A and B are shown apart, each in its own frame.
Chain A
Amino acid sequence: MHSTAVIFRRELASYFATPLAYVFIVIFLVMAGTLTFFLGNFFERGQADLQPFFSFHPWLYLVLIPALAMRLWSDERKSGTIELFLTLPISMAAAVLGKFLAAWAFSGIALALTFPFWITVNYLGSPDNGVVLASYIGSFLMAGSFLAVGACISALTKNQVIAFVLTAAVCFFFTVAGSSIVLGFLQGWAPEPVIRTIASFSFLTHFSAIVRGVIDLRDAVYFASVIGLFLFANAILVDLKKAD
């Protein structure tokens, strides 16, 4: 527990030691704003809610989260610090968890800095703040899932660009698994249970359920298990690939 906290602090500080943190936060906020106000017709809809804001989050994350996750392990392998890191008296679980939690906390910071949207909508009307809170929680859970996928893939390669592209591709699959892009491809030949299983993998399906304002235990469990599963795979991959 102690070493997880120490690793967490070091990793989080390292985001802010480079311009990465500021670039990420600024781009995230600018893009969130642009998408919400222009593409999302925030004002024209005439409704006091943050639906247009949250509906773009999966797509924003698809571009930005891989950039956050790509350095987690591939950087350590490339610079050789992994040898130093993993010969410190820490468990693999602490190493994986400390890094992941730091990245997740960072994405949480970026998400929290979108609070002006919440203030705006409360100034303009009276939204259901329960729904807004649920949506924020859902968005944070989804960011965690993207990050867990990214952390796992970053353990596979020394090359950050490859980690970025692969993470974006895998996350894209998870995002659209429930949509007609994937299901239309499967329908007609794949058996019904397979289609239903794949559809249930969709980040989008589970996220939109939460954005409607209901945090169903099943959706929360889904995101938690995606995170758990990929972090578990992450630990195994780090162990397998660390010396390559």
Chain B
Amino acid sequence: MIEVKHLTKKFGPFTAVDDISFTVKRGEVLGFLGPNGAGKSTTMKMITGFLAPTAGRAVICGDDVTNSPIAAKRHMGYLPEGAPAYPDMTPRTFLDFIAQIRGFSGAKAKERMDKAIALTQLEGVLEQPIETLSKGFKRRVGVAQALLHDPEVLILDEPTDGLDPNQKHEVRNLIQTMASEKAIIISTHLLEEVDAVCSRAMIIAQGRVVADGTPAQLAARSRHHNTVRLALAGGAIDAEAALLRLPGVVAVEPVTDSEGTGLLIFPRNGQSIVAEVSDLVRTARWEVAALRVERGRLDEVFRNITTAA
């Protein structure tokens, strides 16, 4: 549905997006992750036809954005960064304008508007000028506008930025309910969001794709992947040394954080060591307060990849 081939954007000598290629199929939710200024928004602006690429192309449902922009734009709903909307319009007049410009009129326009309003829960603010709305409502007006024509492709630039946790939850639910029949790209710098809604994550740094995979695959690249966190009630003295003697263990680190104190046991080559550790616990008769396998820390992967690049 979305095909991006060698997309490149240069602003003078500065390369904002450097040869990015990927495809997104129906049913996929792709999350763009990356530090500010990494090129996430610029990539989205090229896919939606706002910026002309310096090189490469983006094809939406078979229509090239550069060569047949109007056809390509019909397939897409786009929420630009900051969810801009005409401040002196009300959500109703604004959505009516969007419906008309998308070619709906009369009963059909009303039906599409009602659907979008219901999905984004805008019923209460329909007659207020958009400039008087809270940040959360403004964002929802932007989302409503993007999905009004039930597009096959949704491009959402930071859809949950500035929302409170409940609103974030609602928007994520909305994305998930739509995910099966659309191809969706969202950008975010919230790692929890990638975990919550994306079927695939792409880390972008300095205009390049530096990692691409499911959130679980990315998390597996963490140093913490398959580490075992063990908290002993008695505080066994020789626990560290005993653990280190296990063949699968390379390091043991004491940790103290919000969860309390404990030991972090790092496996050799990311293999699973929970069986070995629990065997040892049983034979040594330690009193266990907590034992947990960590799947890896996305934020650590993110930091490693984006600072190394």
Task: List chain A positions with a Cβ less than 8 A from chain B.
Answer: 2-3, 6-7, 10, 13-14, 17-18, 79-81, 83-84, 86-91, 242-243
Q: Residue B73 contacts which of A14, A18, A87 (CB distance < 8 angstroms)?
A: A87
Within 8 A of A (CB), among B24-59: 45, 48-51
The yes or no answer to B101 lying at the interface (CB within 8 A) is: yes
Interface size class of B (residues with CB under 8 A): 20 to 34
Contact A88 B98 (CB under 8 A): yes
Is B22 close to A, CB under 8 A? no
For residue B100, which residue of chain A has the nearest CB?
A: A6
Q: How far is the CA of A89 from the CA of B50 in the complex (A)?
A: 11
- The proximity string for B residues 59-86 relative to A, scoring 1 for CB distances below 8 Å and 0 otherwise, is 0000000000011011010101110111
**B16 to nearest A CB, angstroms?**
10
30 pairs, A vs B, C-beta closer than 8 Å: A6-B100, A6-B101, A7-B101, A10-B97, A14-B86, A17-B88, A17-B89, A18-B88, A79-B87, A83-B81, A83-B84, A84-B84, A84-B85, A86-B50, A87-B48, A87-B49, A87-B50, A87-B73, A87-B76, A87-B78, A88-B98, A88-B101, A88-B102, A89-B74, A89-B102, A90-B70, A91-B70, A243-B45, A243-B50, A243-B51
Contacts of A87 in B (CB 8 A): 48-50, 73, 76, 78, 80
Q: Which of A6, A79, A80, A89 is B97 in contact with, Cβ under 8 Å?
A: A6
The chain B residues found within 8 Å of chain A, CB to CB, are 45, 48-51, 70-71, 73-74, 76, 78, 80-82, 84-89, 93, 97-98, 100-103, 145
User: In angstroms, how far is the closest chain B Cβ from the Cβ of A18?
Assistant: 6
* A12 CB, min distance to chain B CBs, angstroms: 12
Closest to A13 in B: B93
Q: Nearest residue in A to B90 (C-beta to C-beta)?
A: A17
Provide the residues of chain B in CB contact with A10, threshold 8 Å.
86, 89, 97
Residues of B within 8 A of A17 (CB): 88-89
Of B74, B84, B101, B102, most A-chain CB atoms within 10 Å? B101
Q: Nearest chain-B residue to A83 (Cβ)?
A: B80
Give A90 to B88 CA distance when docked, in angstroms. 22
Contacts of A3 in B (CB 8 A): 101
Once the chains are docked, how many angstroms separate the CA of A84 from the CA of B80? 7
Assess whether B78 is in contact with A89, with CB atoms less than 8 Å apart. Answer: no
A90's partner among B80, B85, B101 (CB-CB below 8 A) is: B101
Chain B's nearest CB lies how many Å from the CB of A139?
A: 29
Q: Which residue of B lies closest to A7 (CB)?
A: B101
Contacts of B101 in A (CB 8 A): 3, 6-7, 88-90
A91 to B70, CA, bound (A): 7
- Do A80 and B82 touch (CB < 8 A)? yes
A80-B82, A88-B98, A89-B73 as given contacts; A14 in contact with B103, CB under 8 Å? no
Chain A residue, CB-CB nearest to B75: A89
Contacts of B70 in A (CB 8 A): 89-91
Nearest-neighbor residue (CB-CB) of A239 within chain B: B52
Q: How far is the CB of A199 from chain B (nearest CB, A)?
A: 40
Q: Given contacts A6-B101, A13-B93, A14-B89, is CB(A88)–CB(B73) below 8 Å?
A: yes
Question: Bound state CA distance, A81 and B71, in angstroms?
Answer: 21
The answer for the CA separation of A80 and B41 in the assembled complex, in Å, is 13
Pairwise interchain contact A242-B50, C-beta atoms closer than 8 A: yes
Q: Which residues on B sit within 8 Å (CB–CB) of A86?
A: 49-50
Q: Which 8 pairs show the lowest CB-CB distances between chains A and B?
A: A80-B84, A89-B73, A83-B80, A17-B88, A81-B84, A6-B100, A87-B48, A89-B74
Complex contacts, A7 vs chain B, CB 8 Å: 101
Q: How far is the CA of A91 from the CA of B98 in the complex (A)?
A: 15
Task: Report the separation of the CA atoms of residues A91 and B71 in the bound assembly, to the nearest whole angstrom.
Answer: 11
A84 adjacent to B73 (CB under 8 Å): no
Min Cβ gap A236→B in Å is 13
Picked from B71, B74, B78, the residue with its CB within 8 Å of the CB of A84 is: B78
C-alpha spacing A242/B46, complex, angstroms = 13
Q: Which residues of A contact B88 (CB under 8 A)?
A: 14, 17-18
Enumerate chain B residues within 8 angstroms of A88, measured Cβ to Cβ: 73, 98, 101-102
Chain B residue, CB-CB nearest to A91: B70
Q: Which residue of B lies closest to A98 (CB)?
A: B101
Complex Cα distance A88/B75, Å? 10
Find chain A residues with CB under 8 A from B85 CB: 81, 84
Specify which chain B residues have a CB less than 8 angstroms from the CB of A80 in the assembled complex.
80-82, 84
Residue with the greatest number of chain A CB neighbours at <10 A, chosen from B86, B87, B89, B102? B86
Please report the C-alpha to C-alpha distance between residue A32 and residue B50 in the assembled complex, in whole angstroms.
Answer: 43
